Amino acid sequence: MTVHAIIGGTGLTELPGLTLLEAIPMQTPYGPPSADIVRGEYAGREVLFLARHGHPHRVPPHQVNYRANLWALKRAGAQAVIAVNAVGGIHSTMGAGHLCVPHQLIDYTYGRDHTFFEGDIEHVTHVDFSYPYDEPLRQRLIAGLAAERYLFSSHGVYGCTQGPRLETVAEIARMERDGCDIVGMTGMPEAVLARELELPYACLALVVNPAAGKSSGVITMAEIEAALAEGIVKVRAVLARALAG
* Residues that constitute the known binding site for substrate: 185, 209-211
158 contacts: CB under 8 Å, gap ≥ 6: 85, 87, 102, 104, 105, 106, 180, 181, 182, 183, 184, 187, 203, 205
Q: Binding site residues for phosphate, as ranges?
A: 10, 52-53, 186
Return left, alpha or beta for 119; rule: phi > 0 is left, psi -120 to 50 is alpha, else beta: left
Q: Which residues pair with 157 in a beta bridge?
A: 104
The total of other beta-carbon atoms located within 10 Å of residue 176's CB is: 17
DSSP 128: -
Of the candidates 232, 70, 84, the one whose C-alpha atom is nearest the C-alpha of residue 150 is: 232
Look at strands 99-100 and 152-153 and give their pairing. parallel
Look at strands 80-89 and 182-184 and give their pairing. antiparallel
Look at strands 4-8 and 45-51 and give their pairing. parallel
Length of the chain: 245
Q: Binding site residues, as ranges?
A: 10, 52-53, 185-186, 209-211
